[in-house]
Structure 1
């Protein structure tokens, strides 16, 4: 993979859909990369299989520093949790990955990073797009379209060696109704965004991520001390719902989601009143409690 700025103008190039102009890599670098800041480099590619896979590979080869941001105009093999495919038309969303190395944070607190990213993305989109984004535990971004809850984005965290984590984010920005991959999907445009200009959206999200990551890291990963746990709980659409947690080993738990604990786990109480903290699994929202 050779990252390069998108500047072509052929019929299949970035200007072929004028409603979806290309990202401006130099402007993004000027706005995000600064002395003493988290972001050390912003690379933009026309298309790639998966920004997460690419950045994990660069980190393993010693070719990426903490704060590297890899953005793609199109992902042809984007992945979500459980290796689900994530596809969208070129330049219709934000598809990017970042490399973090939280050296001073105990590894057992790194599980907060996907939740932290969810808070940062929701905050950034609220500011820049004017769209309220709720969080479905552990890593989905929800918007309201026509009174219905729809998934508009997702987050995927992967280890990169012993000291790094690559976090990938995918957000549907300008997808039209006929372009949605499944009926349950949504986009910022369909949710009534005041802006679908991806440059300011990406800058807002990355600045928000830098702010939250800095707070969390300064607190040595204590989500309570830095306010992350409280903020996540306030924006989590899963809490107060009856859910089904599909867990590893073909086991499932049905009950009310009542809390997110200090380790970022979802606490579920079943009909018998038994509490179980779920650290990994697929969550299905069934109904309000």
Structure 2
């Protein structure tokens, strides 16, 4: 075996065993459930890109789950790169087709996915999690707020949305891509076994998606708006919203409105809803 072969071996890092695809399918894919198929690939550029392509070609049904042990071109919002060693995290995408929900309410899907991921990880990993609007998962490492995960939504044809999730599970301090990143390991997780973590997250997502869909996408009736606000670390913070067109707004994040937008109380005394942009949590002076 060459050094390169050894580095690529599924068992080259014994602290990071491969996912058990067959066991995951047995646990998650069932008659009448949301998840209709689950595939684990060893390496790909982006699970989101792959699943969008399959959906566009008519080769993926709602509830398809695509998981990668390693992503070489993982993306976050604003085309930011998401990189991590093989088997060090959970990198997966799911295809949703919420036909009974008005398209105007589909903007809640990234927030719904955030709630589901945070809920699932809190239960399975025993780690306190919070959400940074609109799509970052935050944990605490050494008393400091760190990003451990992110969510990316992409349209798939006229009737679908692919939700991509990346979660740092076992990254060590020297492996972090940036100092502001974190992982479940560094946050003191009770387990870094990715099989139960993925099961917990997907079951939580199935539960929240079902509630939201049965409510016709209504964020109040489904409990989504209230739950997201309760777990959102951005609310109550002084923030800077960097908006499209090189514009920025500074103010206090005071609410999540019915469209899933972040409402800022600006320094000029007004209220400004932010539907898209990059949010920076400002530290107190």
Structure 2 length-normalised TM: 0.97
> What secondary structure is seen at the aligned counterpart in 1 of 2:92?
strand
1:91 partner SS: coil
Question: Can you list the C-alpha shifts for 1:54-87, whole angstroms capped at 9, x where unaligned?
Answer: 0000000000000000000000000000000000
C-alpha distance in 2, partners of 1:288/1:39? 44
Match of 1:80 in 2: 76
The offset of 1:134, in angstroms, is 0.3
Q: Which of these residues, 146, 150, 159, is aligned with residue 155 of structure 2?
A: 159
Q: Distance in 2 between matches of 1:229 and 1:151?
A: 22
Say if 2:213 is the partner of 1:234. Answer: no
Is 1:224 the equivalent of 2:226? no
**How far apart are 1:10 and its partner, in Å?**
6.1
The answer on 1:178 being equivalent to 2:142 is: no
State how far apart, in whole Å, the 1-side matches of 2:269 and 2:6 are.
62
Q: Among residues 270, 273, 277, which one is paired with 1:274 in the alignment?
A: 270
* Structure 2 residue aligned with 1:90: 86
Q: Distance in 2 between matches of 1:60 and 1:119?
A: 27
Q: TM-score, normalised by structure 1?
A: 0.96
Shift of 1:174: 0.2
> Which string of whole-angstrom CA distances, capped at 9 and with x for unpartnered residues, describes residues 25-55 of structure 1?
0000000000000000001100000000000
CA distance in 1, matches of 2:202, 2:182: 22
For 1:44, what is the secondary structure of its paired residue? strand
Deviation at 1:287, TM superposition (A): 3.0
- What displacement does 1:11 show? 5.7
Alpha-carbon offset, residue 12 of structure 1: 2.2
1:110 correspondence with 2:106:
yes
Q: How does 1:1-289 map to 2 (within 5 A)?
A: 12-287=8-283
Offset from partner CA, 1:132-187 (integer Å, 9 cap, x none): 11000000000000000000000000000100000000000000000000000000
Structure 1 residue 189 displacement after superposition: 0.3
In 2: Cα distance, 1:29 partner to 1:213 partner: 19
Aligned Cα root-mean-square deviation (Å): 1.1
Identify unmatched segments of 5+ residues in structure 1.
1-8
